[in-house]
Chains A and B, each alone.
Chain A
Amino acid sequence: DAGVTQSPTHLIKTRGQHVTLRCSPISGHKSVSWYQQVLGQGPQFIFQYYEKEERGRGNFPDRFSARQFPNYSSELNVNALLLGDSALYLCASSPVVEQFFGPGTRLTVL
């Protein structure tokens, strides 16, 4: 069975630009969560979606937004990129409790 997939793998943007990251959950999983992992730190929770509704939000500015589609895939959008947004962005899908992570998208902001 395919695991969580994320695209793109790597991305380079400049300050002020906008970025869209995509995630496809494991088949049958209806919940998707997004995390930001800065180098050398643990992942930080950004958003959680369940059945296309936002179920939770972490302590991130309004520049970060997300949505979940009818097929349970998800997008994370970040506007007005800052240098500090450079990180590994992880998507996790969940059947109920356990969360299974994808390989992440490495975002570099120059």
Chain B
Amino acid sequence: AAGVIQSPRHLIKEKRETATLKCYPIPRHDTVYWYQQGPGQDPQFLISFYEKMQSDKGSIPDRFSAQQFSDYHSELNMSSLELGDSALYFCASTEDRVADTQYFGPGTRLTVL
């Protein structure tokens, strides 16, 4: 079965640089969630989209923005990167925003030097 695809899998950036993370949900899934997992921590919700509209927002810094496109893939744009942004970024998708099971991608490991 098709899974959630995230790219790139690993990303190394310098402080103050910009990064773009991409997420391709499971086919027919119209809802996408982004989570950030710091070292030794639990995943924290950043933002979600349903049918290309933002549906909820969590602890996402103003330096970050995201959108969902017409093909339902989503991109997380991160600017003015800080050392503390180093983390594993997960994308998850569901077929229906009403609390269906979220299936996670493999994550993008971002390292900021």
Tell whether A pairs with B.
Answer: no
Interface residues of B (CB under 8 A from A): none
